[in-house]
Structure formats: structure tokens, C-alpha cells
Amino acid sequence: MIWNRIRGEFIDVIEWLDESHDTMVYRFERYGNEIKFGAQLTVRESQAAVFINEGQLADVFQPGRYKLETQNLPVLSTLQGWKYGFESPFKAEVYFISTKRFTDLKWGTKNPIMLRDPEFGPVRIRAFGTYVMRIKDPVTFIREICGTDGQFTTDEITSQLRNLVVSRFSSVVGEAKIPVLDMAANYEDFANFVTGKIGPEFEAYGLELTKLLIENISLPPAVEEALDKRTQMGVIGDLNRYTQFQAADAIQTAAANPGGLAGAGVGMGVGLGMGQQMAGAMAGPWGQQGQAPQQQSAPAAPPPLPQAVQFFAAIGGQQAGPFDMGALQAKVRSGEINRDTLVWKDGMAGWTAAGQVGELSALFGAVPPPLPPG
């Protein structure tokens, strides 16, 4: 303790070697804040040194090497009432300020920004990026931000600065009214405009916003998925050709899988039908984009009515007919045709008794069978 006090009273070299990457202000520590008159002060590039006397800001030193005497401590000399030729140790706090640029500081929207897009309607977007800042006015920064903090780092102020960036970015995007799909082409314009708008607010803290970058503006996952599908449709182009390609690919796949060709055929037919319907629905009356309207095709003619079933019959030992169901019923009533009469129609293998043909069994329901022999 005694050695530290003696050593502190004879401090004659004041300097700060910054080994960190985030320290903005560092207070030079020594015992009792005593500085030897004529001590050497070294301020390196990207630094500034501020002397504070009893809580009051005094002299500020830019990069260079100084011998602390009455001549180069005008403010401190005035505050302490030194007379010319004063050579005793004195007390003062020395703060080193890092004036280098602090890079890769993050910013991003915590909550989505609501916009009214001319193409998609109301949408929510998120954005994030980085910015670069430096201490421009050491005195203002100590007075407004740092205070008596002996080691002030970027972590202690980045939250506030991030809020400033996000707030102004939201205002700029809302006023720009640029479609979401065109924002990627305007990242640089957005960044420059936001930088100019936030600059005065940074200067109020003694800071300078030297660069702001927008890395990404994103949409909600559901909207991005819909856009991906829309992009796929644009890449596919002709749905009919695409469906034919899928069908051919399915046949090739099924051929390599025994037993799978039938299932592939069903799926191919369904897919082909759906593809044709989608192509027709998307094309509408104008057909493909950029082509003249096509005349609508005439409605398809209905299929022909099914023909009545007709039978030939063996009557009186000769072929007669053909007869439709009405004529056969009349023949049954007149007794010309009975259950044993041989009949034939297209598709039957041979002549068969009428009573054994299912289609004709109803004709004999109301006719009693012949009496059994006495």
C-alpha cells in the first residue's frame, strides 16, 4: 500500500494501450488521481484524452505526445487557480476516448413492420443489418452518455442506438411505398436515407453514424411459401408439357418397379386431367400471356343413346327377328315364344332357351307355364 502510494505520487507517464475491440471510454487509474507536474501524456491515433477536475470537464488532447505543464493545461490551470511556474503534483481524472470506428454493430426489427403493399395488400416485413459509428465529440459523449463510468463499452449503448435505427427505418419504409418485391433493388437508397435521417440524433450523443447497411428484408413464412409456388409456376411455363413430362417420368419409374405400372397409369391419368384443367383455368379466354384471345371451343356433343337390346328367336323352325323387348313381350303373350324357345343376341356364345336368359325371365312372370302332361 505504501509503495503504491509513493509510486502513484510520482506517475510521470500517462497512456492507454487498448487491447479490446469494444471499449469506447477508459479512465486512467492511479492512486489518489495524483499526476506529477511535467508528466508525459501520450495520446495515440484514434484516441483523445479528456481531463476532468472535481467533476468539471477541463482540457482535451488530440493524438500526440504532451508534457503536462501550465502552458498546455489552460483550462485546468484556470480551474485550480495555478500561478505561473506552478510545479507541484496535481489531481485530475484522465479519460481516454476511443475515436476509432466500431464496426459490425447489429440492428434488427424485434416486431414485424406493417405495410400496405400495392400488389399483396397488407403485409408484415422484418429487416436486419449492421451499422458503423464512432465518437465524434468526446466532451459531449462523456457529458451525455458515459458520465463517470470508468470503462464504457459498446454493449452499454448499442440497444439504444438499435432502437433509433429501427424506429427511423420503419418510418422510411412506410413513407416510401415501394412494393415489397422491389425493395431488394433499393437497399442502398434506404440505407442512405436512414443514415441521413438518424445522423443528427447520433450527434446529440457525441457520435457519428458513418455507415448503415440493410442485409435483408423478409416476409412471413406463409407469404414466402406462396411466392415460391408462384415462382415455380413461372418456371414451369406450359402446364400441358410439364404434365406430359411428369407422365413420361412416372411410366419410366413404374417400369422399373414390378406391379407398379397399373398404379402409375391411374396416377398419370389423374395428373394429366388435373394439369389440363389448371392450364385451362389459368389461361382463361386470353390463352397464354402475350397471345391474342382464342375462340372458345364449341360444347362437346352428348354421346349417342344406348341401343335397345334385340334378340333373334327360333319360331316355327326358322330364325326370326331381331325383336326388342316390347316385340318379344307381344310374342310371349301370343304364345309364339315360350320359355323353351331358343333365342340369341350379339355377345351370346350360342342359342339358349328364353327361360334361361336372365334378361327375358321377367317376360314369363305373368304367363303361366304349360300344363304338365296328363
Banded pLDDT at 288 (limits 50, 70, 90): very low
Q: Is 100 helix (H, G, I), strand (E, B) or coil?
A: coil
Cβ atoms of 131 and 107 closer than 8 Å:
yes
Q: CATH 3.30.479.30 spans which residues of the chain? A: 102-222
Mean pLDDT of 198-220: 91
Rounded CA-CA distance 365/363 in Å is: 6
Cβ atoms of 39 and 65 closer than 8 Å:
no
- Minimal CA–CA distance to 48: which of 40, 37, 59, 56? 59
Position 93: which residue type? E
pLDDT in tens, 297-342: 556 777 665 667 788 888 888 888 788 878 888 888 888 888 888 8
Residue pointed to by grid coordinates 332357351: 353
Rounded CA-CA distance 109/128 in Å is: 6
Mean pLDDT of 337-351: 83
Rounded CA-CA distance 326/364 in Å is: 13
Q: Is this structure's pTM higher than 0.85?
A: no
- Chain-centre distance for alpha carbon 207: 33
Comparison of pLDDT for 233 and 58, the residue scoring more: 58
Cis peptide before 368 (omega within 30 of 0): no
Position 269: which residue type? G
Q: Is 32 helix (H, G, I), strand (E, B) or coil?
A: helix
Quote the cell numbers at residue 216.
435483408
* Residue 200 CA: distances (Å) to CA of 7, 145, 286: 45, 16, 55
Comparison of pLDDT for 229 and 93, the residue scoring more: 93
Quote the cell numbers at residue 236.
414451369
Rounded CA-CA distance 191/211 in Å is: 8
Burial class of residue 217, CB neighbours in 10 A (0-12, 13-18, 19+)? buried
Average pLDDT, the chain: 78
Mean pLDDT of 288-305: 56
130 bridge partner residues: 106, 213
Q: Is 208 helix (H, G, I), strand (E, B) or coil?
A: strand
Rounded CA-CA distance 237/103 in Å is: 46
The CATH class of the 102-222 domain is: alpha beta
pLDDT in tens, 125-149: 899 999 999 999 999 999 999 888 8
- Determine the pLDDT at residue 77: 67
- Minimal CA–CA distance to 68: which of 129, 120, 14? 14
Question: At a CB cut-off of 8 Å and minimum separation 6, what does 245 contact?
Answer: none
DSSP letter string over 131-164?
A: EEEEES-HHHHIIIIITT-SEEEGGGTHHHHHHH
- Chain-centre distance for alpha carbon 42: 51
- Minimal CA–CA distance to 205: which of 167, 166, 152, 169? 152
- Determine the pLDDT at residue 290: 45
